Amino acid sequence: MFGAIEAGGTKFVCGIGTGPEDLEIVQIPTTTPGSTVGAVIDFFLKSKAQIKSAGIGSFGPVDLHPDSPAFGYITSTPKPGWRDFNLAGAIAAALNVPVGFETDVGAAALGECRWGAATGLTDFVYLTVGTGIGGSAIVNGSVLHGLVHSEMGHIRIPHDLAADPFPGSCPFHGDCFEGLASGPAIQARWGIPANQLPQHHEAWKLEAHYLALGLASLVCTLSPRRIVIGGGVMQQQHLFIQVRKELPRLLNGYIQARELTDRVDTYIVPPKLGNRSGVLGALVLAEAALSRKH
Amino acid sequence: MFGAIEAGGTKFVCGIGTGPEDLEIVQIPTTTPGSTVGAVIDFFLKSKAQIKSAGIGSFGPVDLHPDSPAFGYITSTPKPGWRDFNLAGAIAAALNVPVGFETDVGAAALGECRWGAATGLTDFVYLTVGTGIGGSAIVNGSVLHGLVHSEMGHIRIPHDLAADPFPGSCPFHGDCFEGLASGPAIQARWGIPANQLPQHHEAWKLEAHYLALGLASLVCTLSPRRIVIGGGVMQQQHLFIQVRKELPRLLNGYIQARELTDRVDTYIVPPKLGNRSGVLGALVLAEAALSRKH
């Protein structure tokens, strides 16, 4: 049995199991590190199942470099109490098992890769569009880290102020991808929460356009074999249909691959693991942590 | 000895050697495949040095997937005569040696990685800004390919039409990154070739802004540890100074890494191999092709 932790800004999802069939899950609200992580540790220590290792997919920014003194830390978050908190270290010390550590979106990508919408693919992108926009790229079978990790929500995209005078909601960049296309951006622009906007509201055409602009840049930089898009905003199923039309229109035949033309229905897809992508990906991280130890 | 071929749209640069110290180079104009590739083959066959393998960095788009029937082909180029030409196959058959194959920018990245401005780095971006904009990412030590290969020149960036009414020069996308910031875009916008614009011309401030917008998206998707920028437009050394100021301004402290703040001088750098990045990278490809064979 492995332990899995999806550490989110509003809740921690903890699970014990080996895969989608047997994973048992609890949710713990995110309050202070002491209280939340204390409850997480309690859950694993009191469980009858003995876990051999644990995996964590965490909200960030996080330090992913095994050779860094801050490896396993949540770093510069504005979230009170969590800044510079050694999350992986706290879990490893309390449970006395090897611990794998990744971003929340990196874990979700690994989950979808193993059991979900990207099985068999060594190169794809997992994107989430909800309260923020985040993404992770799997390249040659591994999560792309590089200098820090991807921050796909903060790429800049064209913004026609005449057509859409909304200045954007990102406190750092104003009208970056997240500032224009996240759930809070939709709500601030139209004055109505995204999940209450009717399907034929003009909001969705604009949203599909911004999403396609963001995807176009991901396609031109990361050349993924598929893009899996989850998150609250993407609960609007019709958005997939619109984005699948808008992305090929924007690319305009430049990148010649059938995945981007007549096969776009299987190129831009929702996650198959629903809201369990992250916690299942944390299981994958736990497995990898154990095999590194042996 | 290894053979190296940098296959460009205007010339093929061919070399024989083992590295920067002993590489001997000839240039062959790019005309038709028969004539140009014939001259390339002649050069290697008539050389006294016996090459054990060859590497090719080619203009594209190209097919890089070893398991594809079109592996080693130049694919959908508009260049007369070169569409669907089996470049790697022609070289391999004529020289009877193993052949490595990559994009031109992928080869340049490998050259800079081995002997140039990115030695010791497993994750970086090589970008060229000249008659077009192209780029290649090294991720976890390997060239990123994915579905096709990166087409970094075609990401979309913000374009303030009030400040810059130039509609962009890309025949596919108008005002994409390349459409706004390539050499031909600069010339079309100002009516003067880029290399004749004086250093204090307003063109350069705008150019630095567009370059930084493009780099910001590369940083947010690929999280490179360094960005090496070559190409004709970057011969304007002052551009580096301006881009190193503009990129941190655009990122606005969101990505907390000293490479993007007080170390930006070593983050955005010119190539160290000058115009030999590509042909030297082709040597690296030749080496790899030989070791794969053994």
| Residue A66 CB partners (closer than 8 Å, separation 6+) | none
Confidence (pLDDT) at B79? 87
What does pLDDT average to over chain A? 96
Q: CB–CB of A222 and B221 under 8 A?
A: yes
- State mean pLDDT over A255-284: 96
Query: How confident is the model over A130-162, as pLDDT tens digits?
Result: 999 999 999 999 999 999 999 999 999 999 999
Percentage of chain A exceeding pLDDT 90 = 95
Pull the structure tokens for residue A103.
Answer: 């971003």
B1 touches chain A (CB under 8 A): no
Q: Strand, helix or coil at B286?
A: helix
Query: What per-residue confidence (pLDDT) applies to A1?
Result: 94
What are the residues whose beta carbons fall under 8 Å from the beta carbon of B10, sequence distance 6 or more?
Answer: B29, B30
> Looking at residues B171-196, what average pLDDT do you find?
97
Residues in chain A with CB shorter than 8 Å from the CB of B75 are 256
pLDDT band at B263 (very low <50, low <70, confident <90, very high): very high
- Give the count of beta carbons closer than 10 Å to the beta carbon of residue A66: 9
Q: Encode pLDDT of A53-108 as tens digits.
A: 999 999 988 999 989 999 999 998 888 899 999 999 999 999 999 999 999 999 99
A234 band by pLDDT with thresholds 50, 70 and 90: very high
Which chain A residues in 63-82 lie under 8 Å from chain B, judged by CB atoms? 75-76
Question: What is the arithmetic mean of pLDDT over B24-48?
Answer: 96
- pLDDT higher than threshold 80 for residue B194: yes
> Any CB–CB contact under 8 A between A178 and chain B?
no
What is the full DSSP assignment across B55-104?
Answer: EEEE-SSB---TTSTTTTEE-S--STTTTTEEHHHHHHHHHTS-EEEEEH
Which pLDDT belongs to residue B78?
A: 82
Query: Residue A220: pLDDT above 80?
Result: yes
pLDDT of A294 > 80? The answer is no
Question: Do the Cβ atoms of A225 and B158 come within 8 Å?
Answer: no
Strands B124-129 and B133-139: antiparallel
Instruction: Give the position of tokens 């929702």.
Output: A270
Segment B200-226 shows an average pLDDT of 98
CA neighbor of B230 nearest in space, from B181, B280, B275: B275
Predicted confidence band of residue B60 (pLDDT cuts 50, 70, 90): confident
Closest by CA position to A237, among listed A263, A267, A271, A264: A271
- Indicate the pLDDT class of residue B76, thresholds 50, 70 and 90: confident
Whether the Cβ atoms of residue A246 and residue A208 lie closer than 8 Å to each other = yes
Residue B51's pLDDT is 96
Q: Using the predicted structure, report yes or no on whether residue B63 has a pLDDT greater than 80.
A: yes
Contact A144 B140 (CB under 8 A): yes
DSSP letter string, B163-180: T------BTTTBSBHHHH
pLDDT, average across residues A44-49: 94
Are the C-beta atoms of A155 and A176 separated by less than 8 Å? yes
Mean predicted confidence (pLDDT) in B33-46: 97
Predicted pLDDT of residue A128: 97
> CB-based contact (8 Å) between A243 and chain B?
no
Give chain B positions within 8 Å (CB) of A134. none
Residue B117 has pLDDT above 80, yes or no: yes
Residue A203: pLDDT above 90? yes
pLDDT at A239: 97
**How far apart are alpha carbons A280 and A110 in whole angstroms?**
8
A172–B221 CB contact, under 8 Å = no
